[in-house]
Amino acid sequence: MRKLFLSVLLLLPALALPLFAQDMPDLIPQPRKVTMQTGDFRLPSQPRIAFPSSLEPQAKWLADKVRKSTGFAARLLPGKTKGDIVLLLDTLQATKAESYVLDIREKGIVITAHDAAGAFYGMQTLLQLFPAPILGNTLTDHTDWKAPCLHIEDSPSHPYRGFMLDVARYFFPKEFVLKTMDCMAAYKLNKLHLHLIDDSGWRLEIPAYPRLTEVGAWAGEGSKRLGGYYTCEDVKEMVEYAAVRGIEVIPEIEFPAHILSAVAAYPHLCCTGKQHQVPTQHFISRDLLCVGRDSALIFLKDVLDATMNMFPSRYIHIGGDEAVYERWEQCPHCQALMKREGLEKVPELQGWLTNKVNNYLVSRGRTAIGWEEALLRGKIDRPLVSMVWHQIGDTAVAHKAGAQALVAPCYYTYLDFPESGKEGEVKAATWCPPIPLSKCYSLPLPDSDPSSCTIGIQACMWSDQFIHGEVLQEIRAIDENRSERYMEYLTFPRLLAVSELGWTTQKLRSFTDFRHRLSAHFARLDAMGCNFRVPEPILTHVPSADGENKDGWTFTLESPVRGARVAYTTNGTDPHAQSRTAQPGEKVRVASPELLKAITVFSDTKYSMPTNGADALPK
């Protein structure tokens, strides 16, 4: 008996671990505290949603989401506190901004939130606990809509969790921007930074300057003419759509560089006054806004006024990156201004302009964000938020200047770099090394605390790789040249890593655990109609007893995507969706490691790049 007792005791940890791991939900970002309970909540066919009237937009959003995928029409109960799903606002229980407490019992669900954003995040967590098709926009025949009983207390580590979309180099239609917000919101990202202006395009209607969008928003001629812009009405719609989802849309009005599209519309804005065309290829112009001309300064103020009228955001991004100053050196107006202001070095002209704009924004109750250079050109009177895009350690510079910092380091969170440098990988930016998912997740972002100047993180999707219809990528599974699908392929799943970096405290972050949870999210992204890069299978070498592999090399093959299968060949040819499928626990033996090639097959048209046995061996 004692022996039996002992062996059961010895077995317990082995038994307990997988059971525990299975029971924990696959949530991204990982919440602060999850307590599992027994039983499930089953969604009734007419769920009653009770809520305080201030949460009506969020309650309607939930009802709409559920109706589209399940066909269940919810009954909305404003001002009530009893229902199948109850939303409450209580700043004593949910003390931090954007925080929530989610309590799921068999009899019903209560989301207690600090604010509307917290209530929305509680609902997003709830949706992740139901089967993935609930996130879809079309009716599915899945019938068992259940979520496990549990208790979650959750709040974000960082107040700023952003994503930048470069709509200037490639114009993403409004509908796509709205869809992108849905994908961001599903992962609790709360700032959409729109890079609206660059040399290759001006994307914002400014009624007082119609040529900005008549001329500056378009490149090329005839049937090759491409471009587009957002009207004031489009912006209104985007801003309202964002607000329900807890997202602040932050416009970037870029200056003094990257503004050739404005110069093409109004040549007097640059130092030479020369007429330019909007380029059809990726191009970084040396023409700057002529800081020495009053008309250029009036233009900038008018544009900022119009922008602030359209965007109610706390933050306005004022660009400031990558200026080279040769035009200002040669310009009589700019030189005269330097003399008048007693500036010694030409870059100080940028600081002078930054101060003017920053002070103006503050007077209008806004906060300026600038790329990190904006803080470093001359003496800045009043610190603005520095968006650090080079080295993460550069936040120290902002700290020293008394400024807040946002980390968006190109080596970790510029998602226009590919995930790998392997043959067959998507063509993408090359000026930094590839950023595998693990590298992105490894960004050493400290937790937000009052003594830290870092207020958050941002991923950036620059679109100079897919400007204006060029044939750009060679992804087998995407047979399109220029596409929003290409943007999503680069963005997902790495944006989920950025979501967890921004939301989850450092102590709770583990890449192994993240990858395990991530495997359940590809089906969710798919349900949302969001494209993604399918990760390669995990091949594991099983060493032979003699350790010499004389009789061949043995591997196990595992899918990193839940529900997907692994297809493989053993003769060194590239597998395809119809190649032999690896069976659970199957061991595959080959004469040499590179003969084994395998892909993860999500569907017949969506699969990963191949990986081979040699790649799986320790280097």
Q: With CB cut-offs between 5 and 8 Å by kind, which of Zn ion, ligand ACM, none does residue 593 bind? A: none
Separation CA 516–CA 500 (nearest Å):
14
Q: Which does 389 bind (CB under 5 to 8 A by kind): Zn ion, ligand ACM, none?
A: ligand ACM
- Per partner kind, with CB cut-offs from 5 to 8 A, the member of Zn ion, ligand ACM, none near residue 598 is none
Task: Name which of 46 and 272 has its Cβ closer to Zn ion.
Answer: 272
Q: At 485, which helix (H) or strand (E)?
A: helix 484-491
Using the rule CB under 5 A, which residue among 156, 227, 292, 493 binds Zn ion?
292
Q: Which of 26, 40, 321, 425 binds ligand ACM (CB under 6 A)?
A: 321
Binding partner of 271, given Zn ion, ligand ACM, none, CB within 5-8 angstroms per partner class: Zn ion
CB of 267 to Zn ion, least distance (A): 12
List alpha helices for 311-447, DSSP H. Answer: 326-330, 332-341, 348-363, 395-400, 410-413, 437-441
d(CA 384, CA 354): 9
Distance between CA 489 and CA 474 in Å, rounded? Answer: 12
Distance CA(514)–CA(29), nearest Å, equals 9
CB of 454 to ligand ACM, least distance (A): 17
Which window, 179-187, 282-290, 471-479, 565-573, contacts Zn ion (CB under 5 A)?
282-290
Give the number of residues written for the chain.
Answer: 619
Q: CB of residue 271 vs Zn ion: minimum separation in angstroms?
A: 3
- Closest contact distance (angstroms) between CB of 321 and Zn ion is 19
Among 68, 80, 105, 333, binds Zn ion (CB under 5 A): 333
- Verify binding: residue 349, Zn ion, rule CB under 5 A: no
Piece in contact with Zn ion (CB under 5 A), picked from 122-130, 332-340, 441-449, 493-501: 332-340
Residue among 23 and 341 whose Cβ is closer to Zn ion? 341
The one among 185, 253, 290, 557 contacting Zn ion by CB under 5 A: 290
**Smallest distance from ligand ACM to CB 463, Å:** 12
Q: How far is CA 453 from CA 115, 303, 318, 404, 441, in A?
A: 24, 30, 20, 5, 21
How many residues interact with ligand ACM (rule CB under 6 A)? 4
Between residues 191 and 606, which has the closer beta carbon with respect to ligand ACM?
191
The first and second tokens of residue 572, run together, are 């060194």
Q: Which residue is nearest to ligand ACM (CB)?
A: 321
Cis omega (within 30 of 0) on the bond before 535? no
Residue 292 interface partner, choices Zn ion, ligand ACM, none, CB cut-off 5-8 Å depending on type: Zn ion
User: Shortest gap between Cβ of 430 and ligand ACM (angstroms)?
Assistant: 14
Residue 249 DSSP SS3: strand
Pick from Zn ion, ligand ACM, none: which does 470 bind, CB < 5 to 8 A by kind? none
* Alpha-carbon separation of residue 427 from 67, 205, 443, 492, 601 (angstroms): 39, 32, 24, 16, 21
Binding site partner of 322, from ligand ACM, Zn ion, none, Cβ cut-off 5-8 A by kind = ligand ACM
- Which residues fall within 8 angstroms of residue 50, CB to CB, at 6 or more apart? 77, 80, 81, 82, 83, 85, 86, 87
Q: How many other C-beta atoms lie within 10 A of the C-beta of residue 156?
A: 24
Task: Answer whether 334's CB lies under 8 Å from 269's CB.
Answer: no
Tokens of 239: 């801003």
Q: How far is the CB of 333 from Zn ion (least distance, A)?
A: 5
Handedness of CA 593, 595, 596, 598 (dihedral sign): positive
Which residue among 322, 341, 574, 586 contacts ligand ACM (CB under 6 A)?
A: 322
Question: Residues 389-408: x/- map of binding to ligand ACM (CB under 6 A)?
Answer: x-------------------
Smallest distance from ligand ACM to CB 573, Å: 40
Least separation in angstroms between CB 409 and Zn ion: 32
Residue 502: closest CA among 25, 11, 17, 28? 28
- Cβ closest to ligand ACM, residue 358 vs residue 579: 358
Per DSSP, helices labelled H in 331-475 are 332-341, 348-363, 395-400, 410-413, 437-441
Q: What is the 3-state secondary structure (H, E, C) of 121-181?
A: HHHHHHHHHCCHHHHCCCCCCCCCCEEEEEEEEECCCCCEEEEEEECCCCCCCHHHHHHHH
Please state the closest distance from residue 284 (CB atom) to ligand ACM, in A.
9
Token pair of 462 as six digits: 């620059």
Compare residues 118 and 409 and give the one whose CB is closer to ligand ACM: 409
- The one of ligand ACM, Zn ion, none whose footprint includes residue 333, by CB under 5 to 8 A per kind, is Zn ion
Does position 334 interact with Zn ion (CB under 5 A)? The reply is yes
Can you tell me which of 116, 194, 257, 271 binds Zn ion, judged by CB under 5 A?
A: 271
Q: Is the dihedral of CA 423, 427, 432, 436 positive or negative?
A: negative
* Least gap, CB of 421 to ligand ACM (angstroms): 20
CB of 526 to ligand ACM, least distance (A): 31
Q: Which is nearer to Zn ion, 338 or 405 (CB)?
A: 338
Q: Residue 549: left (phi > 0), alpha (psi -120 to 50), or beta?
A: left
Handedness of CA 191, 62, 490, 566 (dihedral sign): positive
Minimum distance, C-beta of residue 192 to Zn ion, in the bound complex (Å) = 33
Using rule CB under 6 A, residue 163 touches ligand ACM? no
Residue 100, SS3 per DSSP: strand
3-state secondary structure of 89: strand
Q: Which is nearer to Zn ion, 292 or 535 (CB)?
A: 292
Cα–Cα distance between 240 and 259 in angstroms, integer?
28
Nearer of residues 338 and 501 to Zn ion, judged by Cβ:
338
- Residue 82 carries which side chain, given as an amino acid letter? K
Taking CB under 6 A as the rule, does residue 371 contact ligand ACM? Answer: yes
Residues that bind Zn ion in the complex, under the rule CB under 5 A: 271, 290, 292, 331, 333-334
Q: Which residues bind ligand ACM (CB under 6 A)?
A: 321-322, 371, 389
